Amino acid sequence: MTPRSLSLALGVCALAASAAFAQDKPNPLDTIPEKMPFDVPYGAPISLDRAHAAINAAVAESKKRGWKMNVTVVDSGGNLVSFARMDGAQLASIAISEHKARAAATFRRETKLFENGINSGNTYLVTLDGVIGSRGGIPLVVDGKLVGAIGCSGGTGSQDEVVCKVGAETVK
C-alpha cells in the first residue's frame, strides 16, 4: 500500500468513525419545548427620557469603576434611541455596543446567552443574522413588555455586562 492510499484509507476510517459517533450523541436542538422561549411581548418603544436615564446610570457606574464605555439604547424594534461614548472609550466599541443592544432587542434575550451557546458548541447561532456572541446586551422590559434594549462595550465582556445591568435596572 502506498503512503497516499494509506492516508486516504485512514481518512475514510476517521470520517466513518466520526459520523457514527455523531449519530450516537443526541442533538440538544432536537428537544421540542412546550412553550415558546423568550416570548416577551413588544411594548411601546422606550422614551428618550428613560433611555437617557439608563445611559446616565451605566456611565455613572463606569466612571465609579474607572472604565471607559460606549453605551447604546435602542427601542423595541432595535432602532437607535440614544448613545453615549465616554471620553477615551475604544472606537471599535461604538458599533459593538449598538450591535449588542440591537441583538438583545430583536432576539428578546441577553446576548450572554449567545455567548454561552457558542461556547458550548451550538455554532448554528453564528449563522443567524444579527447575533453577537458577547455579553453586554440586555433587553429592557417594563410591565412584562419589551420596550428596548441596552448595549455596552469598551471593557471585557464581564465589565460590559455589569455596566449594562445597572443601566437596565433604571428602566424597570
- The structure's pTM equals 0.81
Q: Which three cell numbers stand for residue 105?
A: 432587542
The separation between CA 124 and the C-alpha centre of its own chain, rounded to angstroms, equals 14
- CATH code of domain 48-171: 3.30.450.150
* Cβ atoms 68, 171 nearer than 8 A: no
Domain extents in the chain: 48-171
Buried b (16+ CB within 10 A) or exposed e, 73-108: bbbbebeebbbbbbeebbeebbebbbbbbbbbbbbb
pLDDT in 10s for each residue of the chain, 172 residues: 565 554 555 455 555 555 555 567 787 778 888 888 888 999 999 999 999 999 999 999 999 999 999 999 999 999 999 999 999 999 999 999 999 999 999 999 999 999 999 999 888 898 899 999 999 999 999 999 999 999 999 999 999 999 999 999 999 8
